[in-house]
Structure 1
């Protein structure tokens, strides 16, 4: 493998295939990947403003507003007015939204665990070392 030329392409292809495969491990087909992303952000980071969610997912505020409106209609998130600033509204998970995220995570973790169990200890160690690097790439 020519590291300079082949590694970016190989990583891109592998990450795309793995991402596509993991998306099949979900509990609800009614919501889009963008909506699911918002639910997972709220689950991990707590209530956020529309602007924070837009920035996190790198989408425009109007686009995020449509996503949040759809999630409100599905009763997966709620808008909560700030007690100190009436102009400020946070988006937070409802119990149904939290449950959906937890069940999706459980299914995905089970899928990964089953595949990781088939690897050698050395292969699992390599993945454990690579995980923080991949996270850094994803967060950049």
Structure 2
């Protein structure tokens, strides 16, 4: 058997990997600034930063939630002047949401604190362990792009 042949995956191995990734993710989320935003609100800001001005429907689709589920978060972000809403220039029935100038620095600070925590945690690893983690980046990115069973759009791609 060559190294390229696929062997069945032990579900227990997948479970251990998932649990470890979730634990690291939870620890990183706790390293955020005290800006009072929820992870959902930060995720919405990040989505707008990546995709630019978006309709509420598009935001909900990308977050895989109903439009109504975003209402409170969007209202809070607007109160804090992190987003603005405006009618779509091509379809006045649609509302477009976009970041304000103060949202970018807030997102940068949020990421900076989490990145600094991770860098400090990685400093306690051996050179070999850090190297192994760096080798995992493209593999984890590939896993993140794997289609969901429940997402028909991604399954078609």
Length-normalised TM-score, structure 1: 0.84
- Which is worse superposed, 40-49 or 101-110? 40-49
User: What SS is found at the alignment partner of 2:20?
Assistant: helix
- Which is worse superposed, 72-81 or 17-26? 72-81
The Cα RMSD (Å) is 1.9
In structure 1, the gaps of 5 or more residues are none
In structure 2, the gaps of 5 or more residues are 1-8, 148-157
Matched, 1:46 2:56: no
Give the paired residue count. Answer: 138
Cα drift, residue 82 of structure 1: 2.6
- Which is worse superposed, 67-76 or 82-91? 82-91
Length-normalised TM-score, structure 2: 0.76
After TM superposition, list the pairs within 5 Å mapping 1:3-18 onto structure 2: 4-18=10-24
User: What SS is found at the alignment partner of 1:78?
Assistant: strand
- CA deviations over 1:21-48 (Å, ceiling 9, x no partner): 1111111352211111101111222222
User: What SS is found at the alignment partner of 2:33?
Assistant: coil
- Kept after mapping to 2: 8 A contact 1:50/1:65: no
